[in-house]
Structure 1
C-alpha cells in the first residue's frame, strides 16, 4: 500500500484499525473511469440503432441504479469500450445541480449495455479485492461524511477526481473481506425483506389514494341528494352575475355523461386565471413578501419551506395584481418534457404575504364554488391528461400555457355535494397519512439499522 499523503482522506485513524487491517486509496483498489462526453445536439431521448443508453446523475438512487427511465442516448461511436458498464461497477455522481446527489453511488447489479455521462464516474475494482466490500462501503454514511469533507472549501456541487482517487478505504485481508461481506448480506437480507414489505404497503396506499381521488371526481364517492340544487342551476346563477361572459357558459359538445346533478363547465367560466410575474433575481432580499415559485407547488401541497425567495421592494400595481389570497388554486406550468413532473396543484390556505411568480398560474374560483373540490378535480386523471395534451418545449423542458388549459372543461357537482366530497376525501386521506407516517418511521429505523451494521463492519466491530 502507498504511504499516505496529507491530501489523502482517511476512513479511520490508523490507530483504530483492527489488527491485520490496512488502508488504501481508492486509486490502488480500483480503476476510475470518466463518464462519456457526447454532443448534446446528437443525443436522443429515445433508443434507436447505433445509440447507447447513458445514465445521468438522477439515475443514481439509494435503492440502486435506475436503468429503465430518465435515460439519454448517445452515438455508440462516442463511447469507449472501457466506458461500457460491467456488473459490479459502482457509478458515482461527480457533479449535479442538486447538492444531495453529489457523491451518491450505486452499483450495477446485472449485465446492462450502457454507460454513464460526463457528470458521473465509474469505479471498477481490481482483482485481489472483494468488489462487494467496496460496494458496501459506498453505501455507508461514513463514505458520505468523507465525501462531504473532500468537498469542503470547493464548489459543493462538484466532486474532484483527485479527491475521489485519494479516498482511503479500510482493507482487511481478502478472506476477512469475504467473511464480513457474507455477514452483511445475512443481516441485510432480513432488513431488505422488511423494507420490501413496507414499500409494498406504501404502493397500496398510493393506489388507494388514486382510487379515492378518481371516485371523488367522478361522482362515485358520496351519494347524490335529489334535494341539492343542481350544478346547472348553480352555473345559471353565475352566468346571470356575469352577463358579459355569457359565451363561456354555452353548452359544451362531445363530453361524457356525468353523475346526476353534475354538469361540465369551462374553467374560464368558473374561475379567473392569471399567470405569474417575472420577478428579477437582482431584486430578491432576505425577507419581505415571499415569491411562490414552481418548486413550492407540490402535489396537493404548498411547500413554502422549499428554497424560499423573498422580495421587499415591489411596485404597487404589481403587488396588487400578483398577491395571492386564501382559496387561490396554484398550478405549476413548467417541468421535464414527457415526464409529467409538473402540472401539480396546491391550494393557498391561510398563508399571507405571497406573490405569484412566472411559470406558476393562479385560479381564483367564483363564489360560492368550493376551491377545495376543484383542487381534487385538477389532480384527477381526466384533467391531467388534458393538461399534458398542450405540452410544448424542447427535449428537456416542457411547458403548458395557462391560456390553453382554461378553455378545458371540468365536471361541476352541486354545491352541497362539493362540500360532502371534500369532507369524505379529507377523512380518507387523513387515515392514509397516519399509516404513511408509521411506515416512514419504520423505513427510517430500517435504514438506521443498516447503517449501524455498516459502521460496525468498516470499523472491524461486526460479530456473528
Structure 2
C-alpha cells in the first residue's frame, strides 16, 4: 500500500522531497500544477452563452465510468450564474466528491458547472494519460486526504496543483493509454459475457423447474402411491380437478388439484403467538414484503412459531421464501402457506407459478396465484424431484458465484 506524506501532499513543502514510490527509468515525479494550467479558467455568465451551446452539469456524468449520460444545450437548461468555458480535448475534473471519479477528456467544446475544473497540460503530454492518473486509486487516495467538507467534500485548487503525477516519456504515455483502452474493451466484453451467462443461468433454472413440474426431470416409479390417494388421505377436502385417466399429458400417478387442495393458508390470527405469551431468547428475523424480505431483527409483537416448514411471500409474490425457523411478522405482513405435500416441492411449485404468472397475462397478486390448478406427483417422486432440482441449482449457483 502506498504511504502518503502529509507534508508533500497537502501543500506543505519539505527540504527533502518524499516521493510516493520509485518510478521506472525515464519517468519523473512532477505535480499537476507544474504541468498544467489547472485553476486558470474562462468564466462566462449563463445569459451570455448561445442557446445552442453545450452546458455540462455534474449529473450529466456517470460516476466511475465518466460516460456522458445526457447532453443538453443552454436552451434546454434552466440554470443561472457562471459557467467555465472548455475546449475539445481539455481535461474535465470534478473537484466535488472526487471519489465519484467524474474525470474525462472533453469530446467537444462547451461550458461546465464551476464544480468541474477544465484545464490543459503544457508541452508534450497526453491529456488522456493525465486523465487516467487522476482517476487512479493512487491520486484518488490523495484527494480523499486533502478534501475539505464532510457531506460534499471538495478538493481545493492548491491541493489539486500539489498533487503528485508520475510522468513517463510521451511515447510511453501513448502506449499506456492504448493498453488501457484495450483492457477496458476486454473487460467490457467479459462483463457483457458475465451478464449473458447470468441470464443463461436464470433461464436454465426456469427450464429445470419447468421440466420438474411436468414430470420430465426424474424417472417415474410405477410403485409410488398415486398423488390422488395421498392428497385425499392428508387433505380429505382436496378437490382433484383431473388425474391421469382424464388428462393424458399427466405422468402416471400424477394429478391436478386446486390451490386449496395443495396448500393451507395459515396467515390468520390463530397461528400468531403474542410476544407476551412466549419467552423468547434473543431476537428473531423479521419478514415483510420489502425487497430484502428477511430484514434483520426486531422486537415486534407477533411471532410465528415455525413447527413445520412453510412458504411465505408478499401479496405480489415477487419474493417466495422457504422458511423453517421462527420469525417475527413485519408491519406490512406476508402470506404464509403450508403445503399438504413435500414442503420443498411446494416451495418450487409456488416459485414456478409466481415466475410464470406474468407470462399468462395476470398480475402477481396472491388472488391470481390461488386461481391456478397445481400439478402434484406422488410423494416419493416429489422427494426425488427436490433432490434433483437442488443438485442442479447448486451446480449453477457455483458457476454464478465464480463470475
Q: Give the TM interval when normalised to the shorter protein.
A: 0.5 to 0.7
Count of aligned pairs between the two proteins: 341
Tell me what 1:281 maps to.
none
Which whole-Å CA distance do the structure 1 matches of 2:314 and 2:114 have between them?
34
Aligned residues: CA RMSD: 5.7
Task: Note if 1:369 corresponds to 2:342.
Answer: yes
Maintained 8 Å contact 2:95/2:155:
no
Distance 1:226 1:436, change over 3 A: closer
Alignment correspondent of 1:222: 217
1:329 is aligned, of 311, 314, 317, to 311
**Structure 1 segment 429-448 matched on structure 2, within 5 A:** 429-437=393-401, 439-440=402-403
- Within the candidate set 164, 167, 170, 1:170 is matched to 164
1:358 and 1:231 map into 2 onto residues whose CA distance is 38
- How much does 1:343 deviate? 1.5
Instruction: Name the structure, 1 or 2, with higher relative contact order (CA <8 Å, separation 6+).
Output: 1
The 1:183/1:289 distance shift into structure 2, 3 A limit, reads same
User: Which residue is 1:103 aligned to?
Assistant: 99
Measured at CA, do residues 262 and 323 of structure 1 come closer, stay the same or move farther in structure 2, by a change above 3 Å? same
258, 263, 267: which one aligns with 1:265: 258
Deviation at 1:355, TM superposition (A): 1.7
Deviation at 1:216, TM superposition (A): 1.9
- Is it true that 1:343 corresponds to 2:318 in the alignment? yes
Q: Per-residue CA shift, 1:227-266, capped at 9, x if unaligned?
A: 34555555544541xx4xx7xx5859xxx99653353633
Which residue in the other structure is 1:127 paired with? 120
8 Å Cα contact 2:209-2:348 kept in structure 1: no
Q: Give SS of 2:318's match.
A: coil
Query: How far off its partner does 1:428 sit?
Result: 1.8
CA–CA separation in structure 1 for the residues paired with 2:248 and 2:90: 55
Runs of 4+ in 1 over 6 A off after TM superposition: 54-57, 79-83, 85-95, 107-112, 150-153
Distance in 2, matches of 1:353 and 1:56, equals 46
Deviations 1:261-308 (CA, angstroms, capped at 9, x unpaired): 35363379614264999xxxxxxxxx63332453544xxxx6xxxxx6
Aligned counterpart, 1:16? 19
Quote the Cα distance in structure 1 between the aligned partners of 2:257 and 2:90.
56
Distance (Å, rounded) in 1 between the aligned partners of 2:198 and 2:323: 25
Offset of residue 16 of structure 1: 0.7
In 1, Cα distance between the equivalents of 2:200 and 2:138?
Answer: 36
Whole-angstrom CA distance in 1 between matches of 2:100 and 2:362: 35
> Which residue is 1:462 aligned to?
none
**Alignment partners' CA distance in 2, 1:92 and 1:332:** 43
Q: Which sits farther off after the overlay, 213-222 or 372-381?
A: 372-381
Contact 2:31–2:164 (Cα < 8 Å) also in 1: yes
TM-score between both structures, scaled by the size of structure 2: 0.58
Aligned to 1:49: none
**1:142 correspondence with 2:105:** no
Deviation digits for residues 395-442 of structure 1 (CA, Å, limit 9, x no counterpart): xxxxx76x54553426433133332222222222222333344x44xx
Task: Give, in whole Å, the separation in 1 of the partners of 2:89 and 2:333.
Answer: 43
CA distance in 2 between partners of 1:91 and 1:251 (Å) = 68
Equivalent residue, structure 2, for 1:450: none
> Does 1:422 find its partner at 2:395?
no
Matched, 1:207 2:207: no
Pairing of 1:49-448 with structure 2 (within 5 A): 60=62, 65=67, 76-78=76-78, 103-105=99-101, 123=116, 125-128=118-121, 130-133=126-129, 135-137=131-133, 139-142=135-138, 145-146=141-142, 149=145, 154=150, 158-161=151-154, 167=160, 169-171=163-165, 176=169, 179-180=172-173, 182-186=175-179, 189-190=182-183, 193=186, 196-197=189-190, 200=193, 203-204=196-197, 206-218=199-211, 219=214, 221-223=216-218, 225=220, 227=222, 228-237=224-233, 239-240=235-236, 243=237, 249=239, 251=241, 259-260=250-251, 261-263=254-256, 265-266=258-259, 270-272=263-265, 274=267, 288-292=283-287, 294=290, 296-297=292-293, 309-312=296-299, 314-315=300-301, 318-319=302-303, 322-323=304-305, 327-331=309-313, 343-349=318-324, 352=325, 354-359=327-332, 361-375=334-348, 377-378=350-351, 382-383=355-356, 385=358, 390=363, 403-409=366-372, 411-414=374-377, 415-437=379-401, 439-440=402-403
Determine the C-alpha separation between the residues in 1 that align with 2:397 and 2:341: 29
CA contact under 8 A between 2:255 and 2:375: conserved in structure 1? yes
- 1:22 is displaced (CA, Å) by 1.0
Instruction: Name the larger-Rg structure.
Output: 2
Structure 2 unaligned blocks of 5 or more: 1-5, 44-56, 273-281
SS at match of 2:395: helix
Secondary structure of the residue aligned to 2:209 is helix
**8 A Cα contact 1:328 1:347, kept in partner:** yes
